Amino acid sequence: MAEYWDKFWRKRISRRRLMTGTALAGSGIALGTVVGCGGESSGPPGGSPGASGDSNNPLARVEQFNIKPNDARRTPVWPTSDSGKGKTLVYIGFDPVVLDRYDPHQTQFGPMYANQSAVFSKLYMYRSHEQPTFENIVPDLAEDQPEIVDELTYIVRLRKGVKFHDTEKIRSNFPAVAGRELTADDIIYSYTRQANPDSAQRAYYYRSSQYSTIDKREKVDEYTLRITTKEPTAPFRHFMADTNAMIIPREIVDMENGPTGKPWDSVDAFGDRAPRPGDRMIGTGPFMWDNLQFGIEYVAKRNPAWFGWDDPSLGRPFLDAYKATGQGLNDVTIQSLFERKEIDVAGFIDNPGWIPDFMDSNDVEYIRGTVSGWLNTRFKTNCKPFDDWKVRRALYLAVDRQQVVDVIGSGTWVKCGPIGPAISYWALPDDELLALPGYRKGAEREADKTEARRLYEAAGSPELPMIWFADVPEYIRRYAPTYIQSIKGVLGFEGDVKFQAVPYSRIAEGLIKDECDQGGMTWGFDNGWIDLDDWCYPYFKTGGPKNSFRVSDPVFDKMLDDQRREFDIEKRKALGYDIQRYLLGITNPESPVAHARLDYAAPGGGTISWPYLKNRVTFPWFGNSQWTANVWIDQDDPSYSGRPG
């Protein structure tokens, strides 16, 4: 990371000398969300000593703004007068871009979680991802932390008087839901639905493996339910706070018969069935679904009858509405919009090059962090040449992760191990990861290259099959030629390496088929996860739902099961480290699990906001927009002057 920025800064100064007096503006494309993706992490891995000492390095200067969640500055402040209420928050984000379905239990598209998370509530929610303990998985619809009777039984008590949204439109579309009180039945319905083997939509319940760990869901009374799991499941508390754990009313689901003859069982009423999916977005959250215009804007309106967590007297949410406008603007425009206060928050994936200058003359808050999501390569380990551990390890060592960071991530991304660095609690510490072969720099990197070549030649210098690169985001296929060239250089491979840009659906299709000519080696972006279990269990467990690698290692299976049974969070963390070391080939490089997946880098970036915007929190994953309930715009703040609207 340091080299990129040192160079950037040097050049910036020299360029400035050339264009005297002109401010070089600019930074990357938007990932600007108020509460959503792009949030805090415990700082960049390897906050390299060289970088922080250099006063010219912009990242060194913004380091101090990298606020940790338990920091005092993160403690919410409440408005004292009416000048802290009302107004519409505006930001640029992916929220209006919806490439997936509307159903809260079926979508796996981040921006959609973000929109839904402010509309639908869950039993529990994350307050921070730093420590996934009781302290940070806090009650949302539940009254308090679950009462754990034994390792199998959870008793959850609900808040009383929680009401579903109520507007004119909802009253005419769904008279039975409008303003109805939420009861234990709704939770049982939402949890049963996602594990229902008879549903016509069964294939689309992406988290059904989480809900199939449940044995029984029993209603004790209207506000109490008892959940029993089949086996001790340590991550179960996380399941109740996970992104698809939203509680929806039964009535909004279209249960008319679909073309398969079964009830349709989806919120996405198809064809001309009324009401429209957007009109079915009825939950108990702080904001109500208003309007989503694809690619243009998404608007959510205040829910005046929201239950208000532990303190309804505060009158949250403070905002009248929030509005996310389409992404795709270029870097200069984003800066200019932020400067004019037409947007309250600006987000970036690319260079925050203009931030340091901007912070010199303006009092703004910059939060930097890493996104939970990463670039990786998957091998089918039953196919040649990847059935040979030496080939996999050779490629693992040959990949120049620093180059991925510099080219795709403009130096703001970070190298990534088997668990994304954004999930700082579970991820292998940077001190250890960045010193490993394949991740290290300088002279040691040269040793890795030599070793890669040796292993590759030892395996008989096999040809590589066609590599499938994902066609979105654009940067992946643009990087493809550079990637292939650097791999060929390190391995000393002279022949042609073919590659192709294909859509994710095709990759997914190729991965589940057994043929080796389809998706034998793929290169793409994967959604990040929250809990240790999400990152490894579905991927590497024998027969797991995401095990496209065809790996089966009894030793590793046992490790995966052990972490599920370990309720002590510190001990579980240690087990997680062992799992990652195993995946990185430290424990047993010849295991089929080792290097079945190559992990490259995770997106980094930051968001900048004006000080009049209060209580902003950010998360490394999408789906935390309920926290917008705390956000308010302080019209008395000096920085507020000049904000239009």
Partner 1 sequence: MQQYIIRRLLLNFVVLFLVATMIFAALRVDSDTPVSRRAGACTGGGDITLAEQCYDIARAELGLSNSVPRQYWDFMSGLVQGDLGNSTVGNHDPISKEIKERIGPSVELGLLQIVVALIIAMPVGIISAIRQDTWIDYFLRFFSIALLGIPVFVVAILSILLLTVYASDTFLPDWFGPQGHYASLTEDPQQNIKNMLAPALVGGLGTGAVMMRFLRSQMLEVLRQDYVRTAWAKGLKERVIIVRHALKNALIPVLTIVGILLGSIVSGNVVLEFIYRIPGIGFYVTSAASQNPDFPAVQGVVIVVALSLVFINLLIDVAYGWLDPRIRYS
Partner 2 sequence: MYLEEQAGSIGAVAAEAPMRKRPSALSNVWKFTRRKPLGAFGFFLVFVLFVMTLGTPKAEFGLPSLPDRPFGFELGSPWLARYGEEANFYDVDGSLSQNEDPSFDHWFGTDNNGRDMYARIVVGARRSMFVGFWALTIATILGTAVGVISGYFGKWIDTTVQRFMDALQSFPPLIALILIVTINPLGSGPTASLMMAAFALGFVGITSVQRITRGVVLATREQQYVEAARVIGANDVRIMFRYILPNIMASIIVVFSTGIGVVILAEAALSFVVPQAVPLGTSWGLDLSNSYTRISTNPNPVFFTAGAIAVAVLAFNLAGDALRDVLDPRLRL
Q: Report the interface residues with partner 1, using CB under 8 A.
A: 19, 22-26, 90, 92, 98-100, 102, 108-109, 200-204, 206, 208-209, 258-260, 268-272, 276-278, 292-297, 323, 325-326, 328-330, 332-333, 335-337, 340, 342-343, 503-509, 511-513, 543-548
Q: Which does 134 bind (CB under 5 to 8 A by kind): partner 2, partner 1, none?
A: none
Whether the CB-CB separation of 123 and 187 falls below 8 Å is answered with yes
Choose between 295 and 304: whose C-beta lies nearer to partner 1: 295
DSSP state for residue 158 in the 8-state scheme? B
Q: Which does 31 bind (CB under 5 to 8 A by kind): partner 1, partner 2, none?
A: none
- For every residue of 225-286, DSSP letters joined together read EEEEESS--TTHHHHTTSTT-----GGGSB-SB-TTSSB--BSS--TTPSSPGGGG---SSS
Q: Are strands 153-157 and 214-221 parallel, antiparallel or unpaired?
A: unpaired
Instruction: State how far Cα 248 lies from the chain centre.
Output: 22
C-beta of 384: minimal distance to partner 2 in Å? 22
C-beta of 335: minimal distance to partner 2 in Å? 7
Instruction: State how far Cα 327 lies from the chain centre.
Output: 18
Q: Which does 365 bind (CB under 5 to 8 A by kind): partner 2, partner 1, none?
A: none
Choose between 148 and 447: whose C-beta lies nearer to partner 2: 447
Q: Which does 407 bind (CB under 5 to 8 A by kind): partner 1, partner 2, none?
A: partner 2
Q: How far is CA 502 from CA 478, 518, 524, 600, in A?
A: 13, 11, 10, 19
Choose between 409 and 519: whose C-beta lies nearer to partner 1: 519
C-beta of 484: minimal distance to partner 2 in Å? 9
Beta-carbon contacts of residue 598 (< 8 Å; ≥ 6 apart): 376, 377, 379, 395, 396, 399
Choose between 7 and 565: whose C-beta lies nearer to partner 2: 7
Choose between 51 and 511: whose C-beta lies nearer to partner 1: 511
C-beta of 545: minimal distance to partner 1 in Å? 3
Beta-carbon contacts of residue 162 (< 8 Å; ≥ 6 apart): 121, 141, 181, 182, 284, 307
Q: Which residues contact partner 2 by CB under 8 A?
A: 3-4, 7-8, 11, 14-15, 18, 24-29, 330-332, 335, 350-351, 353-354, 402-403, 406-407, 410, 471-472, 474, 477-482, 485-486, 500-501
C-beta of 12: minimal distance to partner 1 in Å? 13
Choose between 50 and 278: whose C-beta lies nearer to partner 1: 278
Choose between 499 and 632: whose C-beta lies nearer to partner 2: 499
The single residue listed with the structure tokens 């009462």 is 147
Output the CA torsion sign for 469, 471, 473, 476. positive
Q: Which does 358 bind (CB under 5 to 8 A by kind): partner 2, partner 1, none?
A: none
3-state secondary structure of 188: helix
C-beta of 357: minimal distance to partner 2 in Å? 12
Q: Which does 474 bind (CB under 5 to 8 A by kind): partner 1, partner 2, none?
A: partner 2
Choose between 158 and 502: whose C-beta lies nearer to partner 2: 502
Enclosing H/E stretch for 290 = strand 287-293
C-beta of 537: minimal distance to partner 1 in Å? 12
The single residue listed with the structure tokens 């705390």 is 630
φ/ψ of 406, rounded to 5, equals: -75, -45
Longest dimension (CA), the chain: 74
φ/ψ of 487, rounded to 5, equals: -65, -45
